[in-house]
Amino acid sequence: MNVTVIGTGYVGLVTGACLAQIGHQVICVDNNRDKVAALQAGKIPIYEPGLESIVFRHSYRPIDPKADHEAASTPPGFIQFTTDLNRGIEFGDIIFITVGTPALPSGDPNLQYVEAVARGIGQGLIRTQTRSRYRVIVNKSTVPIGSGDWVRMMILDGAAQAAKEELWVGSSVLAGSHSNPRRFDLQSVLPHFDVVSNPEFLREGSAIWDTFHPDRIVIGSDSPTAIAIMRQLYEPIINHSWDPEATPEAQPPVPFLVTDLASAEMVKYAANAFLATKISFINEVATICERVGADVTEVARGIGLDSRIGPKFLNAGIGWGGSCFPKDVSALVRTGADYHCATPILEAVIETNRQQRLRIVEKLQQELKVLKGKTIGLLGLTFKPNTDDMRDAPSLTVIEQLLKLGAKVKAYDPMIQSNQGSLAGVQLESDALSLAQGCDALVLVTEWPEFASVDFDRLAAGMRRALIVDGRNFFSPQQMRQAGFTYLGMGR
């Protein structure tokens, strides 16, 4: 199928690449020229394991604007990059909107990019003279509940504007005058499309795996035609036929859940809010475990074996961060407020997470007393391993607090090489051993696998005081104590 993906951020790139991998022809559009030039040269602007090799395998370049026929005759499954929105609109039978909805200072999502793209799609459908060809417009950006209908209105608005302009010019040419534009029936020239919501549930660091092995595919739409097309698009994933090594008969098909638009949009928020709730819950239990002498890792195992609870997202630690959980839980609270619904559980989930980050600093204070002048080394900075993403990372709160208390902060993260603006005041080191040199304490912030194989004896030997706060319950307390560390975990 011909698919256009508008917005080559994290979700757009992963979606485009994976659709190419399962045999679709994909054009990715972005208005950032530098980014598109880099992508055309095979450079992926984000770190996501496996993404670069898929893009490389399916890249069809350079883009020749007149080469559509050639493109159609190349082997199935390609991905191209362009800044030309109208080219993308002309090409795709399915058009994904995957632009960002970053939080405004108020906390509300900034919808200006979604709006610009929706209007652009409407205009493009008229200007490319392809409005009568049916399209499915898929909203994959995380938007406030109810935005599907708003996207539809924006597309129609853009189309109406372009139709008026086009007909004005056309009729002026016909009539030889600008003064008497031919009247036209707007309804008769509007494009033929449906808007569908298709939330993504990708985890950074395992987004490719998640795309090919989803727990479910959710489609919000009331159009049988659009639903059928979306099912066809995802069929290779639903029945596992994309994978030559899979034995589809041994694997049940991936659930394909069809809902109305608003419910699909709500599924995304409710899923993320529930997962964040699970983490905040176990973190609260962890604090009680500490006081009563229990070990939260054992408790999590014990409750996770109950199939009604499940073992995942029960790792106690420094708390959740990233580009989705903080934004989505807050957005759901605000939606509740907008509709006069109380959300005490969600508010407590956020508050527990805020306190959890500060507990790291409290633990350091308990052991070191005054932090002023002490040197603290952070092992890891990103909000979780296998990503270079620092958005709302718990490390940022810890750094802010430590600097406020007068401590000197050093850090090492395998993915954070240069000093970023948000890391002002932090001295970056190139490995764990040099980080530990002269530190009064280390804090494990991100559980990067490479930290498991560090020489703990040398790590401890280089420190002024061998104290480690394990913010992810990543290390074996016994092993760390054997290496000479004073070990403090989270709830154990």
Binding site residues, ligand UDX, CB under 6 A: 200-204, 272, 275, 279, 313-315, 317, 320-322, 324-325, 383-384
Residue located via tokens 């008769």: 188
Give me 319's structure tokens. 């708390």
E-strand ranges in 15-98 read: 25-29, 78-82, 94-97
Give me 222's structure tokens. 């009331």
d(CA 336, CA 449): 39
Nearest distance from C-beta of residue 320 to ligand UDX, angstroms: 3
Q: Mind giving me the DSSP string for 142-197?
A: ---TTHHHHHHHHHHHHHHHHHHHHHHHHHHHHHT-SSSPPP--HHHHS--EEEEE
d(CA 111, CA 147): 10
Q: Which residue is nearest to ligand UDX (CB)?
A: 324
d(CA 27, CA 427): 42
Category of 392 on φ-ψ map: left (φ > 0), alpha (ψ -120 to 50) or beta? left
Nearest of 211, 177, 186 to residue 98 by alpha carbon: 211
Q: Which is nearer to ligand UDX, 279 or 480 (CB)?
A: 279
CB 112 within 8 A of CB 6: no
CB 423 within 8 A of CB 429: no
Q: Which is nearer to ligand UDX, 314 or 399 (CB)?
A: 314
CB 98 within 8 A of CB 138: no
Give me 274's structure tokens. 């529930």
Nearest distance from C-beta of residue 328 to ligand UDX, angstroms: 7
E-strand ranges in 233-352 read: 256-259
d(CA 290, CA 271): 29
Q: Which is nearer to ligand UDX, 115 or 204 (CB)?
A: 204
Residue located via tokens 């764990």: 432
Collapse the DSSP code of 61 into the 3-class scheme (helix H, G, I; strand E, B; otherwise coil) and give the result. coil
Nearest distance from C-beta of residue 392 to ligand UDX, angstroms: 8
Among residues 28, 324, 341, 439, which one is catalytic?
324
Q: Which is nearer to ligand UDX, 60 or 451 (CB)?
A: 451
What DSSP character marks residue 84? -
E-strand ranges in 397-479 read: 408-412, 426-428, 441-444, 467-470
Q: Which is nearer to ligand UDX, 59 or 446 (CB)?
A: 446
Q: Which is nearer to ligand UDX, 80 or 353 (CB)?
A: 353
Q: What is the CA radius of gyration of the chain?
A: 26
Helix axes 261-292 and 344-368, enclosed angle (nearest 10): 30
Helix axes 51-58 and 10-21, enclosed angle (nearest 10): 50
- For residue 101, count other CB atoms closer than 10 A to its CB: 19
**Residue 341 among the catalytic residues:** no
Give me 275's structure tokens. 């997962």
Strands 217-220 and 467-470, by their bridges, are: unpaired
Q: Which is nearer to ligand UDX, 415 or 433 (CB)?
A: 415
Nearest distance from C-beta of residue 207 to ligand UDX, angstroms: 8
Q: Which is nearer to ligand UDX, 26 or 275 (CB)?
A: 275
Q: Which is nearer to ligand UDX, 275 or 432 (CB)?
A: 275
- For residue 207, count other CB atoms closer than 10 A to its CB: 26
Nearest distance from C-beta of residue 202 to ligand UDX, angstroms: 5
Residue located via tokens 């406020």: 404
Nearest distance from C-beta of residue 275 to ligand UDX, angstroms: 6
Nearest distance from C-beta of residue 317 to ligand UDX, angstroms: 5
The catalytic residue positions are: 324
